[in-house]
Structure 1
Amino acid sequence: MMTAPENRGETAIPEHAAKHLTNEQGLARIVHEGQVYTLRITRMNKLILTK
C-alpha cells in the first residue's frame, strides 16, 4: 500500500505492512548493500531490526 504524496511535488514514500513482509514466525531478511538484516515482530508486537 502506498500513501499519496502531499501536493508539494514530493514522491510518495512506499508503505508496507510488516506482517506482510514477515513469515509465520514474524521474521524477514532484508538485504541492503550486501548486508543481511533480520526484521522481527516480537510477542509484544514491536519491531526489531538487527544485523
Structure 2
Amino acid sequence: MMSSNQVAGYTRTYANKMTFATIKARRGHTAEYNPDQCSLMFKRWIDGESL
C-alpha cells in the first residue's frame, strides 16, 4: 500500500488464502498512532480493492 508516495504497509498471503495486512509504523506500534494508513487500508478492504 502507498500513502503520500511512501510505503504505508504490506500484505502477505498464505496458501490457505489467508491474508495478513501490516501497517508500517512511523510513530508507534499500534494502529491508533497511524490513522492515515489505517484509514487507507480499511477503505481499500471495504471497497474490495487489493491491499
Higher radius of gyration, 1 or 2: 1
Please say whether Structure 1 and Structure 2 have the same fold, judged by a TM-score greater than 0.5. no
- TM-score normalised by structure 2 residue count: 0.32
Whose helix fraction is larger, Structure 1's or Structure 2's? 2
Flag the structure with more relative contact order, 1 or 2, with Cα contacts below 8 A and sequence separation at least 6. 2
- TM-score normalised by structure 1 residue count: 0.32
